Structure 1
């Protein structure tokens, strides 16, 4: 007899939705999926099944590239845009905030 899971922890939910754990974390952070029940830190089977019904849309929204630091993001972009070229430090921060932010002056544009 197969027993259906009644509640899902964070790892179980990610597997149930066909996501990596970082994708689940990003979806939670972005408000694409609700958090677990605060009293149990788990999702019900009904919540998990409801989320599974729209998992493809959530996956499309969170993407396929995990969060990385600025330096790794710079190298990732360089490898795709101009393979073999170096990227100047701070390029990602500058691109993310064209108002002139630097590593010592935070971005104030919203």
Structure 2
């Protein structure tokens, strides 16, 4: 197995990079904002038989608990109260929450 050797460091390039970062930037006119594009309409997922997943629909979703450290503890607490897994509780809460938000926008 070959070991890739690092290229030698050029101190002049490092200095040039640092100098460019420290130099004041010139005022540049901001380009005119692009017109907002109309969101592409997504076709509704076709009806599927039991056990079949709709084409083009993701089966997974990564959730980041950003800036709300209480949510993981709350999810664990509610899951324990309902004697469900956190996965099932999270899906149930997401569905109920989305239904409420959709109703607010419709009504």
* Superposed pair shares fold, TM > 0.5: no
| Structure with greater contact order relative to length (CA < 8 Å, sep ≥ 6) | 1
Rg larger in structure: 2
Normalising by the residue count of structure 1, what TM-score does the alignment of the two structures yield? 0.22
Normalising by the residue count of structure 2, what TM-score does the alignment of the two structures yield? 0.23
